[in-house]
Each structure stands twice: as structure tokens, then as C-alpha cells.
Amino acid sequence: MRFPPSAVILSAAAACLLAPGAAGLALTGRPSLPRRRSSALCASGGGKSAAASARTASFEEAQQIGADLAALLNASCRSDGDPMPAEAVDLLRALVSTTSGARGWFVTLLTDPNYGPVFARPVDETFLSALCDSPETNVELMTMNVAMSTATELTHLSMGNPELAANSRMTAERAGVLALEVMDRMPGLRDSFVALRSAVDGTEEEGDKFWLKFCKKWGYGPEQRDVIRVRVDELLEESGRTRAVEP
């Protein structure tokens, strides 16, 4: 399955990661935006529904909406939490159905240390079903989130930045949890990881062209490609074991 490069290449920001030689976004773990109550969670003017607003939100607006939704989801995932309101579920489904919305959502959810409960398995079904409803938006983005955070951890370690490496490790672990939860539910996700692996296994002439271009774009050398390969192998192996024991 192949999606337009324009829909996914900029997902570097969605994962809030730092490519080799890049600067800025990953230095703080997430973008610094003014905190305000998202207008999409409030009554919208002009008769436009909150879900409709989410579908047309910019990347920056999606981060604000995502922060509010992530707080609700995080609270619902606690042992004493209440389920997310139906309106919030509809809003989440709308947000992750677009490229800008999904990028804004992931940049919020994956990188904030406060949202740990969201990633305790099994992950909230309303969240997973929302992702699976929009594979055309999320397949390559979720694959990139794993690849980039894994490679970025190694980059930070090599530069003597253990704290930044720990942030990237947290992002990679969370991205991996989500991938495992929907590996065989989201159409095309397993194929995307298999294709990525073909581009980092040392046999470039046989690798997937999209992922080869991706690795070249972000300057991933042999060491970074190798850690990506190891991580992809782990995810595919674990998801395969889970699939084998399911009734």
C-alpha cells in the first residue's frame, strides 16, 4: 500500500523527532505552543460541528485539539476513570482521519510524559478503532513514528545527550505499543513495516524504494538503519506470536 509522499514525509514533526543534523523540535520533546482551550472542544460558530472543525484543522490547531483529547483519553485510561464522552470520541475519529490532524495528535500524545496510562495494554478500544478507521492517513505515519524515534535515540546517545535519548526512547516505546495493538487490524500496517525492513537490511538494491528514499532523506547511516531493523524485527516477531495464540 502506498500513500502520497506529501501526506507522510512531514510526519517528522508529528513524531516530534530530530533527524541527524536537524535542530529544534526534539530539543524540548514537543513544540512549545500557547496552551488554550481548543475551540474544537467548545461550541463552534457558524453551525460548524466540532468534528467538522477537526477535519479542517491545521497542524498547529490539531496539536491544541489533540492536547485536550489526550487529557480526556488519559483520564479515561486510569483505573478510576470514566469513558470518554461520545462527542470526544467522534472528535478523535475526525482528527485522526486527516494528515494534519493525525500529525498534531501524535506529536501531543507520543511525547508528553504525562500520558503514560494511555499506552498501558490493552490500549483503549475507542482510540484503536479511530486509528484503524483511517489507514490511508495513519499507516506510514505510524511506521515512521517507530523508525524515527528509534534512530533518534541512537543519535542523541552518540552526541552525549542521555536525557534527549530517554525522551526518544519513550516515544519509540509508545509508537511500538500502538503498532503492536493494530498490526493486523489496520490494513497495510504490517506490509508497511515489512517494506521498511527491506530498506534497512543492508541490501539496498532490493529494498522498498519509498523507504530507501525516506532513510536517505533523513541521513540514516548503517548504525541507525541497523537499530531500526532490530526494532522492526522485534515488533513483527511479537505481533506474530500474538497472532499465533489468538483464537
For cell 483520564, what's the residue? 75
**What number of residues does the chain have?**
247
- Neighbour tally for 43: CB within 10 Å: 8
Pull the grid cell for residue 74: 488519559
Of 69, 36, 34, 33, nearest to 50 (Cα)? 69
Residue 6 included in any domain: no
- Neighbour tally for 93: CB within 10 Å: 19
pTM for the full predicted model:
0.80
Residue 44 and residue 74 in one domain: yes
Q: Residue 148 sits in which domain range? A: 138-247
The total domain count for the chain is: 2
Residue 123 and residue 142 in one domain: no
Residue 102 and residue 125 in one domain: yes
> How high is the pLDDT of residue 17?
37
Q: How far apart are CA 27 and CA 165, in angstroms?
A: 10
Residue 80 and residue 168 in one domain: no
Q: Tell me the average pLDDT across 197-204.
A: 88
Final residue before a domain boundary, out of 133, 166, 181: 133
Question: What would the pLDDT profile of 53-79 be if each residue is shown by its tens digit?
Answer: 899 999 999 999 999 999 999 999 887
In Å, what is the CA distance from 172 to each residue of 17, 90, 169, 229, 232? 10, 27, 5, 13, 11
Question: What would the pLDDT profile of 131-190 be if each residue is shown by its tens digit?
Answer: 999 999 999 999 999 999 999 999 999 999 999 999 999 999 999 999 999 999 999 999
Residue 54 and residue 103 in one domain: yes
Residue 146 and residue 76 in one domain: no
Final residue before a domain boundary, out of 100, 133, 166: 133
